[in-house]
Amino acid sequence: MPPDQATYPLIWLGGIAAVGLIIFFAFIFVVRQFKRCPSNRILVVFGKIGGQRAAKCIHGGGTFVVPLVQDFAYLSLDPMVIDIPLSGALSQNNIRVNVPSTFTVGISTDPVLMNNAAERLLGLREDQIREQAQDIILGQLRLVIATLTIEEINRDRDTFLSLINENVAKEINKIGLTLINVNIRDITDESGYIEAIGKRAAAEAIQRAKVEVSQQERDGATGEAIAMRERTVKVSAERATAIEGEKLAEQRQRIAVAALEAQAVKGETESKREREIAISQRDAEVIVARKQAEQEQRVRVAEAEAIATTGENASRATMAESNAKLAEISAEARRRAEVAASDATAKILLAQREQETARLGKEQLAPQEVEKRRVEIAAEAEAQKTRLEAAGQADAIRAKFEAEAAGVRQVLEAKAEGYRKLISACAENPHIAPTLLMIEQLPEIVTQQVKAIQNLKIDKITVWDSGSGKAGEGGRGSTADFLAGLIGALPPMHELARQAGVELPGILGSVRKQPPAGAPQTEHPPVDGAASRPAR
């Protein structure tokens, strides 16, 4: 067998062995990179996670950690007992109290809280985590005590613990911790107020017992006095005096007891009111804290998105720059190989000319185009503004005239309706309606006549009438002339009323019809010395 043919099986065996070794090491590598999470820990995978998250938290199960791109760490779920030696906390009624307590906390397995813990507690030691939680708990515990009175803290322990759980849990959730248990060991104060409250309660109980004993003794003494009164008047009188003294003492005692009860009821009412106010304030603070937490979360998410977008853009820019450089190198190599030196020089000059043309277009033509566009936009905006103003003015004028026309139409319709009603009311005597209308216009006529002479300065008017019959022709006086003139004006007035279709009142008289031809005409008395005129 030739030597070259004898080496073929060895080559094949070597290749197979190499492939097997590669597969074996790849399997070992995959096994080593698959990380499992125990039940008492949280597996935090960080690095290039994908999406908008900063880390991926896993509780139970496992995941594959990509080398060079991702890394991992563990967070312990073991409970942490935190001793809170709270002392000198100021209550709502300005009394400092000591509330030593023990809080048990731990990292939560809630997805949101696990992410908070991964962001804020990853890499910290247990004592550092304990110190942060202790500071938060101390602050919230003092805040809760400040909203309650000593009586509420001492009497209503359930409400006190529920407020502590609510406030502390919400604050430590921000760093990924959850509250497991709260143990209040004791509640004391520096001034002895809590001890005084206990003594007061004991004294009130003793006082009530004494009152009941006194009442029983009073009943027995009353019965005994009644029995003794039957035996002797003197003893009865003494007993009556004793009973009177006892009654006065009991009265004072009842007054004191009633005052204490009224004070207690008043204190309970004020405590309830203050408690409701504190609960309302706390609800408002909780809502504000929740909104602040949501705002902080949105801000952090937006910052993470901005950072991710910046990294992606930088990577894309780097890739584009590398591709551009590679394309330029390839093109330059092909150009040197295929194009002669003269053609290359011509192309370079042509490129420089195009570059200079583009530069000139950018520096000179582009600003002119921008200015032209700006002027066009400004002119179009001004024209649109003028059109809108003109349209608005036209609408206003049209609305004004429409309103005036509507007002005039309503006035005319009202007048027409009034005239119809007037005619209907005068149906039996139609001649009364024009007379009423004329009388209605008399005040306006008088007003116009007064306006005609209102600016004349007349101090006084004097009428002289001697009554001698020699003032005018025929021996009439001035008054007679005035009456004659008034009577002479009646025929024209009747003629005017007849032409207008108006019937004058009867007090103004009437005009006879024209007599036939040849008959003597009635003459009116002369007015102001003038000749008589025939009646029309």
pLDDT in tens, 15-71: 787 788 788 777 776 667 788 888 888 989 888 877 777 788 888 888 888 888 888
- How far apart are alpha carbons 494 and 490 in whole angstroms? 6
Residue 172: pLDDT band with limits 50, 70, 90: very high
Residue that has been written with the tokens 């029995």 in this structure: 227
Residue 82: pLDDT band with limits 50, 70, 90: very high
Residue 320: pLDDT band with limits 50, 70, 90: confident
Contact 457, 472 (CB under 8 A): no
pLDDT at 224 over 90: no
pLDDT at 361 over 70: yes
pLDDT at 477: 62
| Mean pLDDT for the stretch of residues 155-183 | 89
Q: pLDDT exceeding 90 applies to what percent of the chain?
A: 7
Q: What is the pTM of this model?
A: 0.36
Q: Which of 186-200, 268-282, 314-328, 517-531 has the lowest mean pLDDT?
A: 517-531
Q: Which of 4-13, 28-37, 74-83 has the lowest mean pLDDT?
A: 4-13
Residue that has been written with the tokens 């030196």 in this structure: 341
CA distances from 275 to 97, 124, 278, 490 (A): 18, 40, 5, 97
pLDDT at 218: 78
In terms of CATH architecture, what is 78-305? 2-Layer Sandwich (3.30)
Amino acid letter, 290 = R
pLDDT at 235: 66
pLDDT at 1: 45
Give residues with Cβ within 8 angstroms of 254, minimum separation 6.
211
Higher pLDDT among residues 112 and 208, named by residue: 112
Taking each helix axis from N to C end, the angle separating 157-172 and 233-338, rounded to the nearest 10 degrees, works out to 10
In the chain, domain spans: 24-77, 78-305, 339-425, 434-452+468-536
Tens-place pLDDT, residues 242-268: 888 888 888 888 888 878 887 888 888
pLDDT at 4: 55
- Residue 152, class by beta-carbon neighbours within 10 Å (0-12 exposed, 13-18 middle, 19+ buried)? buried
| Mean pLDDT for the stretch of residues 323-345 | 74
pLDDT at 516 over 60: no
pLDDT at 134: 92
Coil vs helix vs strand at 424: helix
Higher pLDDT among residues 184 and 330, named by residue: 184
pLDDT at 524: 44
pLDDT at 159 over 70: yes
pLDDT at 178: 92
Report the run of H or E that residue 493 belongs to, with start and end. Answer: helix 478-500
